[in-house]
Chains A and B, each alone.
Chain A
Amino acid sequence: MDYLVAFLVGGTICAIGQVLLDTSKLSPPHMLVAFVVAGAILSGLGVYDKLVDFAGAGALIPVSGFGHSIARGSLMEAERLGVLGLFTGALEFTGLGITTAVFFGALIALVANPKP
C-alpha cells in the first residue's frame, strides 16, 4: 500500500513539473529551484509534513522534499539549540546526501567519461 501511495504522489509531483516545463517558459533549472522553494514554503506551513506522513518517499524523493528536509532540519535544531540550530540543522537530513553526491560524483567523474 505504501508503495502505491509513493508511486501516485511522487508521480503526480513529477507530472506537475513536466506540465510546467511544457506550458511555461521555465527552463529545467528554474523549475527545480521553484520546486525546492515550494517544498520549503509548504514545509513552513505544515502542509509538507502531512504529505510526507501520507506518502513517504513519494513526498521525500522529489526535489520539493529536499526543500522540506532543509526547512524541517533547520526548525528541529533551532528548537533544540536556538539560533545556531537554524544553521547547523539546515543540512541535518540533506548533508549526508550532498556529501555522497560530491564524494562519489567526483570519484565517478574521474574514472568515467561522457558518451559522445
Chain B
Amino acid sequence: MASPGAKKQKADERAKYQRLAASIVPKPPLVRNMVVAFVVGGLICTVGQGVINAFMSRGMTQDEATAPTLATMILIGSVLTGLSAYHHIGEFAGAGAAIPITGFANTIVAAAMDFKREGYILGMGAKMFIIAGPVLVYGILSGVLVALIRWLYRG
C-alpha cells in the first residue's frame, strides 16, 4: 500500500515528465500550415469555380450547376486518389486538401482501396464510409433539422 506522500510524489513526477515531453515535442508550424492550407484550398476552389462557370455558360443557373459541379470535383478527387496523387496533396496541405469536396471523395476512395484487403463486402463495402459516413450522418441530421425549423417558422 503506497503512502499518500509516495502517491503525491508519483503525481509530481508525472506532471514534470509531461511538462518535459511537451517542451520537446515539436509544435506544428502554425503559419506555414495555415498559408499552405489557404493556397491549396483556394486553388481547388478556383478549379471548382472554373467548373461552375463551364456549366453556367451552357445556360444553367448557379443552383442548377451546383450538383454537377460537386459531382465533377468528386470525380476529380476520386481519380487523383486512385492514382495515389491526392495522398501527397493531403500530406502537404492538410486541411487545404481535406476540406474541399475533393477531400471528401478522397476519404471514400482511399478507405475503399485500403480496406479491400479485408474483403470486398465487409472490407471495401462496409468501410469505404469510415470517415465520410460521419460527415453524411451529421450533415443530413443538421441540414434537415435546420430546414424543418425554417420551414415551420415561415409556414
Contact = CB atoms under 8 A, between A and B. Distances in A.
Interface residues of B, number: 81
B88 to A, nearest CB: 10
B9 interface: no
Contact of B37 (A18, A52, A108): A18
B142 A71 contact: yes
Given A3-B50, A10-B41, A66 B101 contact: yes
Contacts, number: 281
Contact of A105 (B43, B94, B109): B109
Interface residues of A, number: 79
Given A44-B147, A62-B41, A105 B139 contact: no
A61 B143 contact: no
A93 B79 contact: no
Contacts of B125: 106
Nearest to A27: B131
A11 B140 contact: no
A108 B33 contact: no
B74 interface: yes
11 contacts: A14-B41, A21-B95, A28-B131, A36-B138, A57-B47, A57-B69, A58-B49, A71-B142, A79-B154, A98-B136, A109-B128
Interface of B: 28, 30, 33-53, 62-63, 66-71, 73-75, 78-79, 81-84, 87, 94-96, 98-105, 108-110, 112-114, 116, 124-125, 128, 131-132, 134-136, 138-140, 142-151, 154
Interface of A: 2-3, 6-15, 17-23, 28-29, 31-33, 35-37, 39-41, 43-44, 52, 56-58, 60-67, 69-75, 78-79, 86-87, 89-90, 92-102, 104-106, 108-115
